[in-house]
Amino acid sequence: MTTADSNSTDFVRAKVIEDLAAGKFGQRVQTRFPPEPNGYLHIGHAKSICLNFGLADEFDGTCNLRFDDTNPDTEDQEFIDSIEADLAWLGYTSSSETKYASDYFQQLYDWAEHLIEQGLAYVDDQDADVISAQRGGFGQPGVESPYRNRTPEENLALFRGMRDGEFADGAKVLRAKIDMQHENMQLRDPILYRIRRSQHHRTADSWIIYPTYDWAHGQSDAIEGVTQSLCTLEFSDHRPLYDWCLEHLDLPHEKPEQTEFARLALTHTVLSKRKLAAIVADGTVDGWDDPRMPTLSGLRRRGYPASAIRAFVDKIGVARTNSVHDIELLESFVRTELNESALRRMAVLRPLKVIITNWPEGEELSVEAVNNPQNDSAGTRKVPFSGELWIEQDDFKLEPPPKYYRLSPGREVRLRAGYYITATDVTTDEQGNVTEVHCTYDPQSEGGSTPDGRKVKATIHWVSAAHGIGRTVNLYDRLFTDPHPGADGADPLASLNPQSRETLTGAMLEPALGDVSPGQVVQFERLGYFAADLDDPAVFHRTVGLRDEWANIQKRRQAG
């Protein structure tokens, strides 16, 4: 058995070490990741995944994937498949076959009957709105249901009638009988079962009553032998109910213990599955795996490496209080990873034609370019060069502003891995827009150096017009303009950015980019990191830019 490194020991790991030292749970460490299959996983779930599976790995324990599939109205096999794919992509494998809360429906039902027989649960005929109103509020007394004192025999008969379809949906619920005056609202006779005639993705119509999360969660943990049940802080108030349910049952293993930790939150990001589902449904985004989405599937399509996400989660650590992290910090981990691994390629997103007037007519050659200056083993490649090139429109100014060092009339620049060129003339359209730049080149400057050793102040990228391939490139801005969507009670969707994506259909890329694999990320020199789409590698998504915005944020904070 291993123990966590003392330099990385957070309060959760410290508790595990303490439990092991005390001989709790028979020296076992068993965790679980229990998502509800009602949407795709998002970046916030990555923290829970890394914590649960990481603990199991560090302490020679086990961790299971278990779906909390207790609400058939919102669950779908599509979500199950996507969650399993996300888990594998992050690099984790369940210690056993995938488990489901629905595996335990019969046992959960039997335990519910046990509570009824002990006088600890009752059937209530009131609807959800009345029950909610009767619970009162903080500092306000609760009102006991008029059905609270039914006999165990009557409750048992009614509960079996609920199971057997004798009552309409919503006509009755099963509630725990705890304390309607308890200061913790979760203990004011919570609902354990409701009637719901919906087709379940696994049990079909075998059941028409379904357990609530609070009834299914702890008992599923106990059935599986979970030792550390890790939840985010919003479930802190649920812990007394978690314990209450388990204390009144004859469990097959030791009673698991729930521990809460701070969830992951990012600026310019919404992690409510309900809100994300809404923008999927209304077509604001192209689906759960749209590269603008904070879902793991969306980040994967955008080109985020799984290793960068794991490193980010490790960096922010496990805390007891919620906080919001700058999205630029996550992007810095992505940029650092890709800087080491991504091949360099040249692409022109907004092409402007350059004609080299003194280039030998019809001649074509190849120049040698470095694949990754951070990795010598990546080697070099040959890039075709000709007398007509594409450059970025921004790399030429007919009337350059101050401190503009790129191409302009009479100015010389270096072409990446190519030659020095000097602008001599332009062609314009009827509106005065530059459509072609005429240049001369220095034949003795091949590779970017000259016999006289002269220097230029700018190097620009290019693509041979005769060899370039046309591709579609998507550029992305923040999906939400507000750094804190939904702050002060506002609707977070009110800050959706209508210009979160710009699609360029006329980009020209060097020929090597015609052979990329789906999902492969390359650096477009001077432009950023771009991922070939997982389904159509002729489409590229900008993953992150080259500028380290996180470093700039840190400098501003230190200065201010």
Query: Pick from 208, 237, 261: which residue ends a domain?
Result: 261
% pLDDT > 90, the chain: 93
Asked if residues 95 and 63 have their Cβ atoms less than 8 Å apart, the reply is yes
Under the phi-then-psi rule, with left for phi > 0, alpha for psi from -120 to 50, and beta for the rest, what region is 18? alpha
Mean per-residue pLDDT over the chain, rounded: 95
pLDDT band at 555; cut points 50, 70, 90: low
Asked if residues 210 and 72 have their Cβ atoms less than 8 Å apart, the reply is yes
Per-residue model confidence (pLDDT) at position 557: 67
* pLDDT average, residue stretch 365-380: 95
Per-residue model confidence (pLDDT) at position 177: 98
Point out the residues that are catalytic. 36, 263, 273
Domain membership of residue 268 (yes or no) is no
Per-residue model confidence (pLDDT) at position 165: 97
Question: Residue 114 above 50 pLDDT?
Answer: yes
Whether residue 424 is found in the same domain as residue 506:
no
Whether residue 43 is found in the same domain as residue 82:
yes
pLDDT band at 530; cut points 50, 70, 90: very high
User: Is pLDDT larger for residue 317 or for residue 3?
Assistant: 317
Directed axis angle between helix 152-163 and helix 105-117, to 10°? 160
Asked if residues 322 and 262 have their Cβ atoms less than 8 Å apart, the reply is yes
Whether residue 225 is found in the same domain as residue 119:
yes
CATH code of residue 292: 2.40.240.10
Asked if residues 356 and 48 have their Cβ atoms less than 8 Å apart, the reply is no
Tokens of 141: 């007394």
Per-residue model confidence (pLDDT) at position 3: 40
Whether residue 182 is found in the same domain as residue 158:
yes
* pLDDT average, residue stretch 294-309: 98
CA atoms within 13 A on the CB side of 559: 6
pLDDT band at 560; cut points 50, 70, 90: low
Whether residue 40 is found in the same domain as residue 115:
yes
* pLDDT average, residue stretch 193-206: 96
Whether residue 418 is found in the same domain as residue 454:
yes
Domain membership of residue 466 (yes or no) is no
Per-residue model confidence (pLDDT) at position 504: 98
Per-residue model confidence (pLDDT) at position 95: 96
Rounded Cα–Cα distance for residues 235 and 233 (Å): 5
Domain membership of residue 1 (yes or no) is no
Whether residue 319 is found in the same domain as residue 366:
no
Whether residue 304 is found in the same domain as residue 206:
no
**Helix (H), strand (E) at residue 530:** strand 528-532
Per-residue model confidence (pLDDT) at position 34: 97
Q: Residue 296 phi/psi, 5° resolution? A: -60, -35
Question: Residue 548 above 90 pLDDT?
Answer: no
Per-residue model confidence (pLDDT) at position 556: 67
Neighbours of 184 (CB within 10 A): 15
pLDDT, tens only, 70-85: 999 999 999 999 999 9
Rounded Cα–Cα distance for residues 278 and 280 (Å): 5
Per-residue model confidence (pLDDT) at position 7: 42
Whether residue 391 is found in the same domain as residue 436:
yes
Per-residue model confidence (pLDDT) at position 302: 98
pLDDT, tens only, 405-458: 999 999 999 999 999 999 999 999 999 999 999 999 999 999 888 899 899 999
Neighbours of 536 (CB within 10 A): 10
CATH code of residue 63: 3.40.50.620
Question: Residue 356 above 70 pLDDT?
Answer: yes
pLDDT band at 292; cut points 50, 70, 90: very high
* pLDDT average, residue stretch 476-499: 95
Q: Would the pTM of this model clear 0.85, i.e. be above it?
A: yes
**Alpha helix locations (H) across 262-405?**
273-281, 296-302, 306-316, 327-341
pLDDT, tens only, 126-136: 999 999 999 99
* Domain containing residue 16: 6-261
How many structural domains is the chain composed of? Answer: 3
Whether residue 233 is found in the same domain as residue 298:
no
Query: Pick from 411, 429, 461: which residue ends a domain?
Result: 461
Report the range of poorest mean pLDDT among 96-105, 480-489, 547-556.
547-556
